[in-house]
């Protein structure tokens, strides 16, 4: 998959749902030695966070909507990304 080798681009994956059982008492793990947090957000908070990160890393030039070609609705795309990520974690 060539998308994995784009210079200057990275993927961040949150896999907590896949490893949570290991940290919930099933196995002897000292959470005082491992930095951990349970972070949740609603769709509006997530969209705001994405927009703020885009602005920060683009020196205030870009937001989420600027990632898309003309004719692609960023709101519809965002909702679909949220839907897919929630269904994927289930």
In 1-90, where does DSSP find H-type helix?
A: 16-23, 43-57, 74-89
- Tens of pLDDT, residues 6-63: 677 777 666 767 777 766 666 666 667 766 666 777 889 889 999 999 999 999 999 9
CA dist 2 and 20 (Å) reads 31
Any idea where the domains of the chain sit in the sequence? 2-89
Q: What is the pLDDT of residue 90?
A: 42
């Amino acid at each position: 998959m060539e998308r994995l080798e784009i210079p200057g681009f990275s993927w961040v994956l949150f896999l907590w749902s896949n490893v949570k059982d290991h940290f919930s008492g099933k196995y002897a793990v000292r959470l005082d030695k491992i930095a951990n947090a349970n972070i949740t957000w609603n769709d509006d908070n997530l969209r705001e966070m994405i927009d703020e990160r885009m602005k920060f890393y683009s020196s205030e030039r870009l937001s989420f909507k600027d990632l898309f070609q003309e004719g692609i609705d960023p709101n519809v795309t965002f909702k679909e990304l949220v839907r897919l990520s929630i269904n994927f974690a289930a």
